[in-house]
Amino acid sequence: MVLFYVQQLINGVSRGAVYALIAVGFALIFSVLKFSNFAHGGLISVAAYAGYYFSTKFDFPPVIAILCTALIGAVMGIILNYIAFYNLQRRNSPNIFYFVSSITCGILFMNILTLMFGTTFYAIKPFFKNNIIKIGNLIILKMDIMILALTFVLLAALMLLINRTKMGLALRMVSIDKDTAMLMGVNSSVVITVTFSIAGALAGISGILLGANFTIDPFLGNMVVKGFIASVIGGLGSLPGAIIGAILLGVMEVIFTVLVGDILSPAIIFVMTLIFLLIRPQGISGHFVTEKA
């Protein structure tokens, strides 16, 4: 019985690792631009298909395929910024526009993918010949370890970038007050473009890893909703908070699925999340960023 619950805990962390990967990219945009970028899901879907081509069609080794997909994601992130948000930023548009624009672009990307690839389903070639590590009766998947490890590496890299580099300083300035940052000589447009390219690269990595862990369909990016919930639990705009929130969400989902079943579990988790936010609106991290949209 103990082993059963330990295995379920592993299942929960594994699920949370997937959410964490999504949440980091989502939280990055929120931390700098202070709006919930639901187009991140669309980028994840696009990246998953790109990852399929690099990994399965062109037979690139996993590391090269991940890097190539990250590059595609970065380019897509920049394009997304110019299509959906650049003019809104220039014109100090109302907050709701960012929200509408991000959702619209997310839907747009997914529907373009449906038109291009909707005739069948795709799967990325497994990264590991044997994906399973057995410790006694416990089973851990190498793919889950990889996702979790990569998430922490990306988090560390982002924290270093934000806290220890000039670009990070500029990024923090823009996040606090874009106009003042400009008066201080910071080119906000460049900073925002860089932010979108980094978030896009993260979406690229998420896309190929999610595609390899599950299967690919145009709506794979809808998992961004879980990343959003994880970010809310962790503290909107906080990168470490997003990861903690994601792992917690994954474990909670598994525990309640086991205890009350899959039908009741989402309702209980939403109620618990609401209660938690009533008590602690700033989330687990205590980091609170004023939301734009």
Enumerate binding residues for another protein (CB under 8 A): 4, 7-8, 11-12, 14-15, 18, 83-84, 87-88, 91, 93-94, 97, 100-101, 104-105, 107-108, 111-112, 114-115, 118-123, 125-126, 129, 131-132, 134, 139, 141, 214-215, 217-219, 222-223, 253-254, 257-258, 261-263, 266
How many residues would you count in the chain?
A: 293
Q: How far is the CB of 258 from another protein (least distance, A)?
A: 6
Q: How far is the CB of 238 from another protein (least distance, A)?
A: 25
Residue among 75, 55, 17, 67 nearest 199 (CA): 75
At 11, which amino acid appears? N
Q: How far is the CB of 235 from another protein (least distance, A)?
A: 24
What's the DSSP call for residue 211?
H
Token pair 């220039």 in the structure block, residue? 90
Complex with another protein: residue 145 or 169, whichever CB lies closer: 145
At 248, which amino acid appears? L
Residue among 212, 86, 74 nearest 146 (CA): 212
Tokens of 31: 């931390």
Complex with another protein: residue 104 or 273, whichever CB lies closer: 104
Complex with another protein: residue 176 or 259, whichever CB lies closer: 259
Q: Distance between CA 252 and CA 223 in Å, rounded? A: 16
Complex with another protein: residue 133 or 156, whichever CB lies closer: 133
Complex with another protein: residue 15 or 34, whichever CB lies closer: 15
Residue 83 contacts by C-beta under 8 Å, 6 or more apart in sequence? 105
Q: How far is the CB of 62 from another protein (least distance, A)?
A: 13
Tokens of 83: 């299509």
Q: Distance between CA 241 and CA 161 in Å, rounded? A: 17
**For the residues of 134-175, what is the DSSP string, one character each?**
EETTEEEEHHHHHHHHHHHHHHHHHHHHHHHSHHHHHHHHHH
Complex with another protein: residue 115 or 183, whichever CB lies closer: 115
Q: How far is the CB of 24 from another protein (least distance, A)?
A: 19
Q: How far is the CB of 141 from another protein (least distance, A)?
A: 6
Q: Distance between CA 172 and CA 49 in Å, rounded? A: 33
Tokens of 162: 């934000």
Residue among 229, 227, 239 nearest 277 (CA): 229
Complex with another protein: residue 131 or 193, whichever CB lies closer: 131
Please list, residue by residue across 37-72, b when 16 or more beta carbons sit within 10 angstroms of its beta carbon and e when fewer do.
bbbbbbbbbbbbbbbbbbbbeeebebeebbbbbbbb
Q: How far is the CB of 78 from another protein (least distance, A)?
A: 17
Complex with another protein: residue 107 or 167, whichever CB lies closer: 107
Q: How far is the CB of 7 from another protein (least distance, A)?
A: 5
